[in-house]
Amino acid sequence: MRKELAPFRFEGNLTTAITTRDFMNLSARSEFKPAIVLALVLTSQLAVADVVRVQHHARALSLFPPYFAWNNNFSGQPIGWQAGTNDAPQWTANFDFSTNRLYGYPASARGWHYGWNPTGDNLFPRQLSATADIPCSFSYTCGGSDLHGDFAYDMFLRHDDRKAKPQLEVMVWAGNNSRPIGQVIATNITAADGITFDLWAGTNAGAGYYVYSFAPHHKTDQLPTQGSLNADMMEFFRRLPDNEHFSKDMYLDVVEAGFEVVRGHGWVACDRFSCEAD
């Protein structure tokens, strides 16, 4: 039977949204000592594969070991978020934005996001040169008006296994009606389910690393209301050029599946996510 924890809310002089990295280091600040208790609770729950819900300001987190799902809201603008009730990394996010901006990326994940992994799972980091397959599945639904963004896998890599800030980002887009970072450097690449992709490349100046994005070649004006992408992520890595940005000796830290919120009035949901590697 799954145990539930009531949502945890911070008390004190908190005036701005706290980043996940800050959250993991709050024990150093006396006004947030309750976070120590929360961290102990999260750790203790992993062995029984409970879903743990944590909510503070615009952020939320649920554990579905070896996965976790979270409201990666890096804009500080309101994005509602609710985890599913099944023993799977499901969630629903809702938002109401009239102007274009990258507001957040609510997602399910397996691995280490910027050195953070609340489940403690150690499938990653994993060196690509020692990996044969990374089979992943992701399905999604959405509804509303004027929705803009992309359902996508997001993966971070480093040249070592330090579980730290990424040195490269690789995205694989599914249903979308937005535009990746950079410019197209290759077209009509077939890598999953008979879908052809274009490869985009450019620098995320704000984050400080290079980004490769595989986006479906065929575009749509409206965001698809449902879809899925089941793929071996190694098929995409094999299609990247060896250069100063990418090498097959790099380590994959995390695989995430979510939605980049750009604009609209409505909701998006992750109905299924899984990821393995061998």
CATH code assigned at 89: 2.60.120.180
Per-residue model confidence as pLDDT tens digits over 137-171: 999 999 999 999 999 999 999 999 999 999 999 99
Per-residue model confidence as pLDDT tens digits over 238-272: 999 889 999 999 999 999 999 999 999 999 999 99
Q: Where are the alpha helices (DSSP H) in the chain?
A: 20-24, 34-45, 233-237
Q: Per the domain annotation, does 204 fall within a domain?
A: yes
Please give the residue range of the domain that contains residue 79. Answer: 75-275
Checking if the pLDDT of 53 tops 90, the result is no
The number of domains in the chain is: 1
Over residues 202-214, mean pLDDT: 96
Per-residue model confidence as pLDDT tens digits over 1-26: 222 333 333 233 222 333 433 334 33
Q: What is the pTM of this model?
A: 0.81
Q: How long, in residues, is the chain?
A: 278
Contact call for residues 251 and 160 (beta carbons, < 8 A): yes
